[in-house]
A and B are shown apart, each in its own frame.
Chain A
Amino acid sequence: MTIRTAITVNGKDTSREVEARTLLVHYLREELGLTGTHIGCDTSNCGACTVLLDGEAAKSCTIFAAQIHDCHVTTIEGAAQADGSFSPMQEGFRQEHGLQCGYCTPGMIMASTALLTENPNPTEEEIRHALEGNLCRCTGYEMIVNAVRWAAENPNFTSGGVK
């Protein structure tokens, strides 16, 4: 069974006839070619697939593309600022060595971005708690916590369009 779904992804309208069971993460990766969103588990534990769904963190491996007709999705490809500068969160991950292999990183950045929207100045404990649904196997998390703090402390960061 196929179904037509229209989703705004990173500000652009997309529309596809998809199998009803198509997962959002496969829609993003395979239909739209947005491969920055990753898949790391089958049980929504790891959070590598985290995107923003109407501004809130959501795990795209447990959502059907057809389920979010007319919704707005932001992926890591849409995380940077309008002028091309890294977002404060992206820059925070770079400055604080919040990533190693980079596989969990897009999900981490999106989940952390959603956290700062809700709570612009989180404590270490609040950050650790908010990121419980995102697993990283490389960093041991302290530098991820530091990255989120960096973004909280530099909300107006811009590289002036330098990517």
Chain B
Amino acid sequence: MSLVGARVLRKEDPNLITGNGQYVDDLQPAGCTSMVFVRSTEAHAKIRSIDTAEALALPGVLAVWTSANVAQLANCPGGLPGLDQPLLAKDIVRFVGEGVAVVVATDRYIAADAAELIIVDYEPLPAVASLSAAMAPGAVVLHEVLGGNTVHFQDFENPLDEAFAAAPRTASLHIVNNRCAPSPIEPNVCLADWGRSGLTLWAAFQAPHHLRNTIAQYFGIPQDSTRVVAPDVGGGFGAKINFVPEFFLTALLSKEIGKPVKYTQTRSECLVAMLHGRAQEHDASVAFDNDGRILALKLTVTQDQGAYPNGTGMGLPVLTTAMAAGCYRIPAVAISWRNVVTNTTPVAAYRGAGRPEASFTIERLIDLIADETGVDPVEVRRRNFIPVDAFPYATHSPLAMYDSGNFAGALDELLKHVNYDELKKEQEKRRQDPAAKLLGIGFASWLEIAGFGPPGSLEAFGHLASWESAQVRIQPDGSAIIFTGASPHGQGTVTTYAQIAADELGIDFDRISVKHGDTAVVPQGIGTMGSRAVAVGGEGVKTASGRVYENAKRIAAHLLEASAEDIIIEDEKFFVKGTPARSVPWSEVAWKSFQPLELPGGMEPGALDSTVFQQVPNFSFPSGAYCCVVEIDRETGGVNIVNMYLVDDCGTVINPLLVEGQVHGGVAQGIAQALYEHMLYDPSGVPRTSTFMDYLVPAASDLPGYVTGRINTPNPSNTLGAKGVGESGSVGAPPAVVNAVVDALSHLGVKHIDMPVTPIKVWNILEGAK
């Protein structure tokens, strides 16, 4: 029986449900000390002085560091040269939450006490806490070297003036894609131990080899004696692939004081110091005919980079604009983007990273076209879809060569679940009844770019390469250990890879282990992000397993005095096809694979060990069709999701249980962005949502149940056919939810509402209509 496609329970769970998981904060090596930050309370200020005397005098305090202690060191890696963040703020702070000083003490309570005793004297400067403030004439400049606050501006190659002038109809939207805090339930944590035999850094991170390579380079130490371990990681969502000063400071301080140094971020710190996501504004225009057929699209993305731009943040608008056209055939597309710095937390990847923003805008425009033309939103989508016979489909962007999909098919499948005609009748009926809640139906036919990626794609974000490693090692008893450079943090990769390997090797699922997250154990690796763990890493496991299996067959054939081509396997026994009575078990093949005298000619011991650096020729393009049905309370403006219908096309499904979990989780974060979450700053740059009291991560009672469905157009770029699914829900859900809310209010002339769609926004609309 094939395990690929089976609903297999996770290997990860027995440890995690019994409290035997091992997260970084659970580690407490002998002599472990605790590091605590003093973080800036000012959004923009000069540092006049820092008084550390009282803190240093506190018993138990081992070190207090300010920028003076790291003055000779380069700024934190990952930033743009000249605009990068110092390990500790030097002379000036540029956002609330920037590290100003650190304390190391024998325990976390003393370290926190000492941090309270440090007095920082600030001279406040004017702050720019929004894109409009940062771009206003005469705005205060964050980085003098820039001369302004715009880091980069990419103009239209052709602004399509003629296409728009000639079009029967045009429409435009200004869209704010709200800033979100990724908020894994485990904040950032790291533990450094830098002794005579080298540096070991345990870190809650998604790409340990990436961090190892960077940290070794930063300190000028060899990679062989630099080890990064990401043990169990409590969620990442893109926020744990960024280099932050914490990693470098714990390492430096460990070397300085000769003890392990641990840093455990508090939630309040996490909300302002862990990099944010989204934070874009879009100016989008669309030209179309009276039948709702799109003639041209124009999009300018303005990306808030926060105070210190980084490579990932700079890449966000590139991805957004690459995916601007969604799943539609649009004859002319013009894209433009700019990156702007503000006195806010830096911005980088958050689940979907640039693609949710693209999907949101094109799907809002589709509904706007429907509203303008009177053509049903479902029909507008159908009239503009890229047809199934058009793949591979070249878009306006060289990044996005769509390779597969069936957008109409996904929508058809969705409509099997949604009683659309009845819902529309019900909507009309309720509009006539002032006591009834308003009903809205919203669709999103979404598409994203994932499976990062082809050679060159991750290099552009500072990674070593874009492959993923897989090593399959058969043990002498015929069990298998798989080492992967993917570094999961909840995805169930251990289970998924064991399923893939079990099919390829013919070894029982229960006799396959998967190891990850330790640079001293895994040969090399890239990491888990961009929905790549299966499409790239899983394919690597399949390739390496296949190579091992071919060699195992040769050994079995040698033992059976047969030809390898005739050998098959069942129940871990190799035999010549048709003669199962005479067989050799995997355990014997494995045992003899290490014994030179037992091997076929030309084969060396260790032949059942294969390492692959799996490359893929293209990105992948997961897609789907979602429908959200909302009710709106006319008295409170509260939005309640009644139903959420989700049809995904992630290509081949390895484990439907885990795929469903990924879809649910992504959709939950998408709903959260649409209805609840927003990192808010006041005009002076003070965050107003810096605890879970005011930053609304939804609870079970805030979210609906989900109805899921599926179509499958296999990914042609790997033999598994898998596209990736980690980010899908966060791409598809926000436009479905907001389209539903706008639909519910469309009789009041509402064309758009920015996220999050809070009760007060809706209530104001309802009051305004009275």
| Per-residue contact bits, chain B 662-684, to A (CB 8 Å; 1 contact, 0 not) | 00111111000000000000000
Do the beta carbons of A30 and B28 come within 8 Å of each other?
Answer: yes
The residue from B183, B666, B668 contacting A141, defined by CB atoms under 8 A apart: B668
Known: A41-B691, A41-B692, A46-B692. A102 touches B16 (CB 8 A): yes
Do the beta carbons of B235 and A103 come within 8 Å of each other?
Answer: yes
| Per-residue contact bits, chain B 682-709, to A (CB 8 Å; 1 contact, 0 not) | 0000000001110001011101011000
Return the chain B residue nearest A30 by Cβ.
Answer: B28
Cα A77 to Cα B266 with chains together (Å)? 24
Cβ of B285 within 8 Å of any chain A Cβ, yes or no, is no
Do the beta carbons of A76 and B18 come within 8 Å of each other?
Answer: yes
Return the chain A residue nearest B12 by Cβ.
Answer: A102
The residue from B21, B25, B234, B700 contacting A131, defined by CB atoms under 8 A apart: B700
Name the interface residues of A66-106: CB closer than 8 Å to any CB of B.
75-77, 79-80, 86, 90, 93-95, 97, 99-106
Cβ of A24 within 8 Å of any chain B Cβ, yes or no, is no
Do the beta carbons of B185 and A135 come within 8 Å of each other?
Answer: yes
Do the beta carbons of B25 and A39 come within 8 Å of each other?
Answer: yes
Cα A102 to Cα B10 with chains together (Å)? 12
| Per-residue contact bits, chain A 124-163, to B (CB 8 Å; 1 contact, 0 not) | 1001110111111111111111000000000000000001
| Per-residue contact bits, chain B 5-45, to A (CB 8 Å; 1 contact, 0 not) | 00001101111111111110110100000000000000000
| Per-residue contact bits, chain A 16-29, to B (CB 8 Å; 1 contact, 0 not) | 00010110001001
Cα A95 to Cα B266 with chains together (Å)? 32
- Closest Cβ of chain B to A27, distance in Å, is 12
Which B residues lie within 8 Å of A144 (CB)? 700
Do the beta carbons of A99 and B16 come within 8 Å of each other?
Answer: yes
Return the chain A residue nearest B186 by Cβ.
Answer: A103
Cβ of A120 within 8 Å of any chain B Cβ, yes or no, is no
Do the beta carbons of A140 and B706 come within 8 Å of each other?
Answer: yes
Which A residues lie within 8 Å of B266 (CB)? 42
Do the beta carbons of B268 and A42 come within 8 Å of each other?
Answer: yes
Which A residues lie within 8 Å of B331 (CB)? none
The residue from B13, B264, B267, B667 contacting A99, defined by CB atoms under 8 A apart: B13
Cβ of B550 within 8 Å of any chain A Cβ, yes or no, is no
Do the beta carbons of B664 and A99 come within 8 Å of each other?
Answer: no
- Closest Cβ of chain A to B664, distance in Å, is 4
Cα A39 to Cα B187 with chains together (Å)? 9
Cα A29 to Cα B109 with chains together (Å)? 14
| Per-residue contact bits, chain B 185-199, to A (CB 8 Å; 1 contact, 0 not) | 111000000000000
Which B residues lie within 8 Å of A40 (CB)? 185-187, 234, 267
Cβ of B172 within 8 Å of any chain A Cβ, yes or no, is no
Among A34, A86, A100, the one with the most B-chain Cβ atoms within 10 Å of its Cβ is A100
Cα A1 to Cα B699 with chains together (Å)? 38
Cα A39 to Cα B184 with chains together (Å)? 12
Number of A-B residue pairs with CB-CB distance less than 8 Å in the complex they form: 184
Cβ of A38 within 8 Å of any chain B Cβ, yes or no, is yes
Which A residues lie within 8 Å of B661 (CB)? 97, 100, 138-139, 143
Which A residues lie within 8 Å of B703 (CB)? 140-142
Among B18, B183, B691, B729, the one with the most A-chain Cβ atoms within 10 Å of its Cβ is B18
Which B residues lie within 8 Å of A15 (CB)? none
Return the chain A residue nearest B696 by Cβ.
Answer: A45
Which A residues lie within 8 Å of B183 (CB)? 137
The residue from A22, A75, A95, A104 contacting B19, defined by CB atoms under 8 A apart: A75
Cβ of B491 within 8 Å of any chain A Cβ, yes or no, is yes
Cβ of B657 within 8 Å of any chain A Cβ, yes or no, is yes
Which B residues lie within 8 Å of A134 (CB)? 699-700
Q: What size tier do the contact residues of chain A reach?
A: 35 or more
The residue from A103, A105, A139 contacting B17, defined by CB atoms under 8 A apart: A105
- Closest Cβ of chain A to B187, distance in Å, is 7
- Closest Cβ of chain A to B674, distance in Å, is 13
Known: A76-B19, A124-B705, A140-B668. A101 touches B184 (CB 8 A): yes
Do the beta carbons of A41 and B19 come within 8 Å of each other?
Answer: no
Cα A80 to Cα B661 with chains together (Å)? 25
Among B15, B20, B666, the one with the most A-chain Cβ atoms within 10 Å of its Cβ is B20
- Closest Cβ of chain A to B16, distance in Å, is 3
Do the beta carbons of A93 and B17 come within 8 Å of each other?
Answer: yes
- Closest Cβ of chain B to A150, distance in Å, is 12
Cβ of A35 within 8 Å of any chain B Cβ, yes or no, is yes
Cα A103 to Cα B183 with chains together (Å)? 12
Cα A41 to Cα B693 with chains together (Å)? 10
Return the chain B residue nearest A145 by Cβ.
Answer: B700
Cβ of A48 within 8 Å of any chain B Cβ, yes or no, is yes
Do the beta carbons of B692 and A43 come within 8 Å of each other?
Answer: yes
Cα A43 to Cα B268 with chains together (Å)? 9
Cβ of B315 within 8 Å of any chain A Cβ, yes or no, is no
Do the beta carbons of B17 and A86 come within 8 Å of each other?
Answer: yes
Return the chain A residue nearest B695 by Cβ.
Answer: A45
Known: A138-B235, A163-B14. A103 touches B658 (CB 8 A): no
Cα A45 to Cα B23 with chains together (Å)? 20
Known: A132-B701, A140-B667. A103 touches B19 (CB 8 A): no
The residue from B234, B658, B693, B705 contacting A38, defined by CB atoms under 8 A apart: B234
Cα A7 to Cα B34 with chains together (Å)? 26
Cβ of B455 within 8 Å of any chain A Cβ, yes or no, is no
Cα A37 to Cα B703 with chains together (Å)? 25
Which A residues lie within 8 Å of B268 (CB)? 42
Do the beta carbons of A132 and B699 come within 8 Å of each other?
Answer: yes
Cα A40 to Cα B729 with chains together (Å)? 24
Known: A43-B692, A86-B18. A101 touches B235 (CB 8 A): yes
Cβ of A109 within 8 Å of any chain B Cβ, yes or no, is yes
Do the beta carbons of A141 and B235 come within 8 Å of each other?
Answer: no
Do the beta carbons of A41 and B267 come within 8 Å of each other?
Answer: yes
Cα A86 to Cα B17 with chains together (Å)? 9
- Closest Cβ of chain A to B528, distance in Å, is 12
Do the beta carbons of A37 and B668 come within 8 Å of each other?
Answer: no
Which B residues lie within 8 Å of A19 (CB)? 109
Do the beta carbons of B184 and A79 come within 8 Å of each other?
Answer: no
Which A residues lie within 8 Å of B108 (CB)? 26
Among B664, B699, B729, the one with the most A-chain Cβ atoms within 10 Å of its Cβ is B699
Known: A140-B665, A140-B706. A106 touches B19 (CB 8 A): yes
The 4 closest A-B CB pairs, nearest first, are A36-B19, A103-B234, A101-B490, A102-B16
Residues of B bordering A, CB below 8 Å: 9-10, 12-23, 25-26, 28, 108-109, 183-187, 232-235, 237, 264, 266-268, 489-492, 657-658, 660-661, 664-669, 691-693, 697, 699-701, 703, 705-706, 729
List 11 A-B residue pairs with CB atoms under 8 Å apart, sorted by A's residue number: A19-B109, A35-B19, A37-B19, A99-B13, A100-B235, A103-B23, A128-B701, A137-B237, A141-B700, A142-B664, A142-B705
Residues of A bordering B, CB below 8 Å: 19, 21-22, 26, 29-30, 33-43, 45-46, 48, 75-77, 79-80, 86, 90, 93-95, 97, 99-106, 109, 124, 127-129, 131-145, 163
Given contacts A94-B17, A101-B234, A137-B184, 17 further A-B contacts (CB under 8 A): A21-B109, A30-B28, A36-B19, A40-B187, A45-B691, A46-B697, A90-B17, A97-B660, A100-B235, A101-B185, A103-B21, A103-B184, A103-B186, A131-B699, A139-B661, A139-B665, A143-B660
